[in-house]
Chains A and B, each alone.
Chain A
Amino acid sequence: MRKALLIALRTTAVTLILTGVIYPYVVTGLAQLLFPWRANGSLVTDDQGQVIGSELIGQGFANPAYFQPRPSAAGDKGYDATSSSGSNLGPTSQKLQERATQDLQRLQEENPGAPGLVPVELVTTSASGLDPHLSPQAVLWQIPRVANARKIAPERISAVVEAVSEGRDIGILGEPRVNVLVLNLALDRQFGRPAPVQARDGKGPTE
């Protein structure tokens, strides 16, 4: 028993140092050497060199001239990247039904020229609350509004969307998608930044 206890204590210390300290430091060292941009969060800068987000983390957009992401359950205001979360509302949840109905109404009001039914992602929250993507359908649906707000022909917006769309990985895996931040950045580069608008219930610009 005493011998077993001693071995257990020593094995605890050795495995802790090997797998809990040495291992993550080795991986960090190699990762920083080989893929520093990825290892540090795939940060994106604007033309002035200011960090404006991570390519992988969704952020809120309220301005009609930008494509808008999915609703988010991360944090109180959505897209809080220190508080990732889904809504966890179940399939018979009244709260979920009310929220979807409200979002639907707002979307229909803001997008009078939009074609057909509202794509489902625009009224559902993602699992992380930080989903950076939309499906191509959900982007196409918003083109009339963006084109109108920017006073630019919809075809020219479509061309930008097409340029930044991603297919399935290796042609098979996952779903086709468009990164909303990358798309909005591309729009700004091509057509200039839109004039800021008044914030809507805290989700929009604060400065």
Chain B
Amino acid sequence: MSVNGWVQILMFFLVILAVTKPLGIYMFRVFERDQQPLPRFFGPIERGIYRLCGVDPREQQTWTQYTLAVLLFSAITLLVTYAIERLQHGLPLNPQHFDPVPPDLAFNTAASFTTNTNWQAYSGESTMSYLTQMAGLAWHNFISAAAGIAVAIALARGLTYHLRPDDAKTIGNFWVDLIRCTVYVLLPICIPVALVLVSQGIIQNFSPYVDLTTLEGAKQTLAMGPVASQEVIKEFGTNGGGFFNANSAHPFENPNPLTNFIEMVLIFAISAALTYTYGRMARDQKQGWALFAAMALMFFLGVAPAYYFESTGNPVMHGLAVDQAAGNMEGKEVRFGVANSALWATVTTDTSCGAVNSMHDSYTPLGGLVPLANIQLSEVIFGGVGSGLYGMLVYVLLAVFIAGLMVGRTPEYLGKKIEAREIKLAMLYVLIFPLVILYFSAWSVVAPYGVSSLNNAGPHGLSEILYAYSEAAGNNGSAFAGLNANTPWYNVSIGLTMLIGRFLMIVPALAIAGSLVGKKVVPASLGTFPTNGALFAVLLVSVVIIVGALTFFPALALGPIVEHFLAQAGKVF
């Protein structure tokens, strides 16, 4: 580890801290005020889209109507992307004449992008036409991000609204939240930042691939495409699906340390800012900062060991005449080095982004444990846009419940009593996640069609499979990419895991919103457990880590942890 590495990590965190408040206030105005920001410019666009879509912005939805809208919209958009992939050979913007995407891969990819996962079982530059990339995939980067943010805002409304007994128990309007998010938040940032990225070398064109003869006389073909426009929303919407197979390690997606820094800030920005938006909605900014503090603490608990272990070098090269002062460079780019690779790996798995600038599969055992564990803490360390906030709020209810049990009082949060129904829904949310991960992982390690896809033997093979289902359920999309996941078994099972990890978790979250929104608010008393201070932040972190550790420690012990000790002993497989 070097001083410069830590300076970069702290600088990144300070920029996130600086962005949180202004972006948080901006999003509060977009979602919760009668008058949105810059009405002269955005107002006509917003109203025009409502007219085209047939949306009445004054209409309010109950939690069931809201949920139905989310599910319907997601189902239809999934089918459209599937159709675009299957028909790409007959559609425009396919200069490389790619064939239709095979059915299992097309399903997997459509599920992947609909659920904001962006797992890539395909290799972009040799599979997807430009139209499929733009209209099939990058489109989902916008709408799945907007849908996630909408759900988070809806849950926050359920927790924070003070309704009178005769008010309708509504939590907003999904269509309005979706459209406002796209028009006011996502597009206005994406267009200028995409141009900044182009100025640094990220490509943006519709040209056929470039054939050339290298300086030494060999043939090389350069893949082209509209990359910058996709790159920016891929990070800003914590989607993570790269234009190219190598994702943000590819120099055309991430050419230098400056673009790398911008992209990392984009990944954290919305999720961090939503904690501030939430504080505004709760009429107590400290409620938001308590969530931010809990997330920030877990971020540092992850980045420190990741950076440390990657700095120690690759175990298989200990004893060779190799100078490993630069750290473990297998699967890492020179321009990023170990510090920016470990930082990115932490950032991309804290959130459900899943874009990578280094290959996690080649990390040291404990360096690679960090991204895996981050995902298994169910993506609440800032988390995906929206999904991070609603996931963390579910853990908040659990933490309040546990605190209530300890002092023997009915738990309450923001003045609302947390009762059996909410806790059952929260437990459902928490249990679905490990269930699908461990179930499918166990299936894959005993089935011949599961283990035949492995690229690494020994405990690392288990880590590859465990990582694949963890990222799918967490809607992350990064990989221990040695696993050949483009097989019918993995395409279908991972596709299902992604759908379960998204929608079976959105439904309980919205149900909690519906259940809480109409509850009457009791004023805080001496016996109320304060949820806006450091004590609560620490309790929250403990709950998240204990739930995650109880669930996944046995599997992790057989994967990365045992691999660490074997690597120390010089064992290879």
Hey, which bits of chain A sit against chain B, CB under 8 A? 1, 4-12, 14-16, 18-21, 23-24, 26-28, 30-32, 34-35, 38-43, 46, 50-63, 66, 70, 74, 79-94, 96-97, 100-101, 104, 108, 116-121, 123-135, 137, 168-170, 172-175, 177, 181, 184-185, 188, 196, 203-207
User: Which residue on chain B has the smallest CB distance to residue A53?
Assistant: B214
Q: Name A60's contact: one of B80, B218, B244, B245 (CB within 8 Å).
A: B218
- On chain B, the number of residues with a Cβ less than 8 Å from chain A's Cβ atoms is 133
| CB 8 Å contact bits of B197-218 with A (1 = contact, 0 = none) | 0111111111101101111111
A97 x B246 contact (CB < 8 A): no
Q: Which of B36-44, B329-337, B374-382 contacts A (4 or more CB under 8 A)?
A: B329-337
Alpha-carbon gap, A88 to B219, bound state (A): 25
In the complex, the answer to whether B323 meets A118 with C-beta atoms within 8 Å is yes
B250, A128: Cβ atoms under 8 Å? yes
How far, in whole Å, are A68 and B238 apart by their CA atoms in the complex?
Answer: 36
Decide if A204 touches B314 in the complex (CB within 8 Å): no
* B444 is an interface residue with CB less than 8 A from chain A: no
Query: B316 on the interface (CB 8 Å rule)?
Result: yes
Please state if B331 and A120 are interface contacts (CB–CB under 8 Å). no
Determine whether the beta carbon of A173 is less than 8 Å from that of B257: yes
Tell me how far the C-beta of A11 lies from the nearest C-beta in chain B, rounded to whole angstroms: 4
B94 close to A (CB within 8 Å): no
Interface centre among B125, B135, B204, B216, by most chain A C-beta atoms within 10 angstroms, is B216
B573 proximal to A (CB < 8 A): yes
Give the residue name and chain of the A residue nearest to B365 (CB). Answer: A91
Closest to B360 in A: A88
Which positions 60-76 of chain B face chain A at CB distance < 8 Å?
Answer: 65, 68-69, 72-73, 76
**B213 and A52: CB pair below 8 A?**
yes
Known pairs A81-B223, A91-B315 / 4 extra A-B pairs, C-beta < 8 Å: A10-B54, A19-B138, A90-B456, A91-B567
Q: Give per-residue flags for B438-458: 1 if the beta carbon is below 8 A from chain A beta carbons, else 0.
A: 000000000000000001111
30 of the cross-chain contacts (CB-CB < 8 Å) are: A1-B68, A5-B72, A11-B178, A14-B53, A15-B139, A16-B135, A19-B186, A28-B229, A35-B198, A38-B201, A40-B224, A59-B214, A82-B125, A82-B221, A84-B246, A88-B482, A91-B362, A91-B365, A92-B365, A116-B323, A118-B323, A121-B329, A123-B320, A128-B250, A130-B246, A131-B334, A169-B256, A169-B258, A177-B335, A206-B217
Judge if B143 is at the interface, Cβ distance under 8 Å. Answer: yes
A53-B215 contact given A20-B138, A30-B195, CB 8 Å threshold: yes
